[in-house]
Every structure is written in C-alpha cells, then in structure tokens.
Amino acid sequence: MLTIATEVEVLARFGRALADPIRCRLLLALREAPAHPSDLADRLGISRTRLSNHLACLRDCGLVIAVPVGRRTRYELADPRLAHALEDLRAAVVAVETDRTCAEADEKGCC
C-alpha cells in the first residue's frame, strides 16, 4: 500500500541519504543523467556491491528509481525536482559557509 510521508519523514529521509558522501556523489551523478550501476561504480571508483547497498538506501528513501531497460537496470532520480533541490541545497550551503557568524565554529566543529 502506498502511503504519503509527513514533511518531517521526507526531510529525515533526505537527510539520511545525504549523510553519506558516496550517496551524495551518487545523487549528483544521477542529477546529471540516468545511469547503469556498472557505469556508476566505475565513475565513483567503488565496488558494485558497495554501490548496490547505497542504491538500495536511496531507493528506500524514495530518491531514486530503478528502470528496467531490456536485461539491464538503469537508475535515475525519482523526481526531476530532486535535481533542482540538490542544486539549491548545494548553493545555499556554499553561501552560508562563506558567512560564518559563529565565533567558535572552528573549535566546536559546527556551522
């Protein structure tokens, strides 16, 4: 049964996906174009097993989908708006990072 996630659940899933650098790299790669797992593994320089685990996480989070293409499977972002969201988030974080208002940021490892 399909259920609608709450706003908090959606943000938590997105945060979980972005919590790992490999998943971030996967999302950025898929932002550029859909791809087959073997191509993604080569591009990211990781094993196919490791890639498979990360793709499963991204599927579970609802961020990517697997599309059968003949005997192969291609992965792509689940919604084109995710590409814009990733770019907006990247731009916002870059903009915030240059304006560090917390005087203790270096000591505390925050901001």
| Model confidence pLDDT, tens digit, residues 51-66 | 999 999 999 988 999 9
The pTM score is: 0.77
Cβ pair 86, 94 in contact under 8 A? no
What is the pLDDT, as a whole number, of residue 23? Answer: 96
Q: Which two tokens stand for residue 109?
A: 């490892």
pLDDT grade for 9, boundaries at 50, 70 and 90: confident
Query: How far, in Å, CA of 106 to CA of 11, rounded?
Result: 27
> Which residues have C-beta within 8 Å of that of residue 36, sequence separation ≥ 6?
69, 72, 73, 74, 75
Count of C-beta atoms within a 10 Å radius of residue 37:
16
Share of the chain above pLDDT 70, in %: 82
Query: Residues 20-46: pLDDT tens digits?
Result: 999 999 999 999 999 999 999 999 999
- Which stretch of 21-25, 39-43, 94-98, 105-109 has the lowest confidence by average pLDDT? 94-98
What is the pLDDT, as a whole number, of residue 13? Answer: 86
SS3 content of the chain, % helix, strand, coil (to 5): 60, 10, 30
